[in-house]
Amino acid sequence: MYTRVFLNKKEEAELKQGFPWIFDNEISHVKYDSKNGVEQKSLSECTVEDGSVVEVFANGGAFLGSGVINRKSKITVRMIGIEHADQIMADPQGFYEARIQAAYDLRKLHYNIKDSYRLVYGEADFIPGLIVERFCDVNKNVYLVIQFSTLSCEVFRKEILHALRKIIKPYGIYEKSDAPSREKEGLSLRSCWEGEVREEKIVIRENDVLIEVDLANGQKTGYFLDQKDNRRYVAGLCEGKRVLDTFTHTGAFGLNAVKGGAKEVISVDISPEAVELVNKNIALNKAEGKMKAVCADVFDLLKEYEKSGEKFDLIILDPPAFTKTAKNIEKAYGGYKEINLRAMRLLNPNGILVTCSCSYFFDSEHFYGMVMKAAEDSKKRVQVLAKFGAGPDHPVLLGYPKSEYLKCAVCRVV
């Protein structure tokens, strides 16, 4: 008999709606086989090995699905399927091949073989903790950057890697399991090639723009693919405009703006390494005459531009997450509001503001409320022309709100 985890009364509602996590304080007791027969213990008393597949039940005994237990984590069980544990463990290789194939088939509805996209999006693709980016370089070589961030996918690492090689047939796989969240799962950090060592820096084509991606040393998994479709949309608004692209990272928004016909683009980042990469990407696209990179703190630069009377026709605000926890929302609100307020003041009449937040905790209510207050304080009126999230390679799993994190608003500032 597989270990059975029983929830406290009335704790199963979210799980039935699709939420894939069970926290330690939601568990009533655990039943498992021991030398003394079937034992019932509290979570703290049980001796079930972390990384084991367990079956989850409502307090009244209704079967809810199977998951992987990890008592080192506050998220004690991460659900991996609605099947019974013996069905999953009879052929775990086949189980994960089916999961990877389903994720790949979904992306093929929207992307072609030359595209770069997120292939697996963790819980939203029913593989908790697993992120896989698929990059296709200009030579048509396919690279995967893979991140195992939880024990629930780490214990099936061999099966997942085998499935990826079988289905995707990548030229190279770089594992970037170096997020600090792994340590909360009791896992060590790892960052290296899996198998053959390939080039760490590659060039991909996004919306007919060339971008150098550093697989090993770039932020997170090397490149932010979630804004790809939004960058293409914004490019269509840039013809003849003077554009300010802030928190630029690789220069992708700015380069898309140049592709869309912008007459001048200034791309800003505080990181010297990022600015060096932006300059490389400017050269790759022969955009030296229209685009330049500036190394500066965006908050300080917006103040300087306001004092000096600089004006732009279109401004892009795509900052990193200002909060990664619920308790820091108010502090984040101040940061978001300041950059939006100053950007509105820098725009020419009827200018376009593209403003974004990638923090799940700073939800849509906070985000659009902040934009409204920034408009009020800058004595502007704002028309929201379009609202976007991440692309279709980042599906939103109903019942799991954390899968819907990106807000991208295209506004006209009057």
Give the start-to-end residue ranges of the domains of the chain.
Answer: 4-90, 92-202, 224-413
Residue 266: φ, ψ to 5°:
-115, 120
Helical packing angle, 92-108 and 157-168, nearest 10°: 40
Q: What digits encode the pLDDT tens for the residues 179-193?
A: 888 999 999 999 999
List the one residue out of 250, 236, 228, 207 whose CA is nearest residue 388: 228
Does the annotation mark 358 as catalytic? yes
Name the token pair of 228.
Answer: 């790809």
Q: What digits encode the pLDDT tens for the residues 372-400?
A: 999 999 999 999 999 999 999 999 999 99
Mean pLDDT for 63-69 is 98
Q: Is 410 helix (H, G, I), strand (E, B) or coil?
A: strand
Is 90 exceeded by the pLDDT of residue 220? Answer: no
Domain 4-90 is of which CATH architecture?
Roll (2.30)
Q: Which residues have C-beta within 8 Å of that of residue 241, sequence separation ≥ 6?
A: 257, 262, 263, 312, 313, 314, 352
Domain 224-413 is of which CATH architecture?
3-Layer(aba) Sandwich (3.40)
Is 90 exceeded by the pLDDT of residue 274? Answer: yes
Mean pLDDT for 12-17 is 95
Of the chain, the percentage scoring pLDDT greater than 90 comes to 90
Contacts 24+ apart (CB under 8 A), 231-237: 231/206, 231/207, 231/256, 232/207, 232/256, 233/386, 233/388, 233/410, 234/260, 234/314, 234/316, 234/354, 234/410, 235/207, 235/259, 235/260, 236/260, 237/314, 237/352, 237/410
Same fold, 4-90 and 92-202: no
DSSP string across 248-300? -TTTHHHHHHHHTT-SEEEEEES-HHHHHHHHHHHHHTT-TTTEEEEES-HHH
**Backbone dihedral region for residue 249 (phi beyond 0: left; psi -120 to 50: alpha; all else: beta):** left
Q: Is 186 helix (H, G, I), strand (E, B) or coil?
A: coil
Is 80 exceeded by the pLDDT of residue 35? Answer: no
Amino acid 46: pLDDT: 87
Which of the four CATH numbers 3.40.50.2300, 3.40.50.300, 1.10.645.10, 3.30.750.80 does domain 92-202 have? 3.30.750.80
State the CB neighbour count (10 A cutoff) for residue 237. 20
Q: Is 397 helix (H, G, I), strand (E, B) or coil?
A: coil
Query: What is the distance between the alpha carbons of residues 132 and 318, in angstroms, rounded to a whole number?
Result: 23
Amino acid 66: pLDDT: 98
Mean pLDDT for 229-255 is 97
Rg over CA atoms, the chain = 24
Query: What is the distance between the alpha carbons of residues 4 and 81, in angstroms, rounded to a whole number?
Result: 15
Query: What is the distance between the alpha carbons of residues 159 and 25, in angstroms, rounded to a whole number?
Result: 31
User: 34-43, 270-279, 323-332 — which one is most confidently predicted on average?
Assistant: 270-279
Amino acid 222: pLDDT: 80
Query: What is the distance between the alpha carbons of residues 51 and 54, in angstroms, rounded to a whole number?
Result: 9
Q: Please, which pLDDT band fits residue 88 given cuts at 50, 70 and 90? A: very high
Q: Is 386 helix (H, G, I), strand (E, B) or coil?
A: strand
Name the token pair of 216.
Answer: 């090993």
Is 80 exceeded by the pLDDT of residue 323? Answer: no
Q: Please, which pLDDT band fits residue 325 given cuts at 50, 70 and 90? A: confident
Query: What is the distance between the alpha carbons of residues 26 and 22, in angstroms, rounded to a whole number?
Result: 7
Q: Which amino acid is at 406?
A: L
Q: Please, which pLDDT band fits residue 32 given cuts at 50, 70 and 90? A: confident
Indicate the range of 66-75, 273-282, 290-299, 323-332 predicted with least confidence: 323-332
Candidate list 153, 238, 356, 358, residue with the active-site label = 358
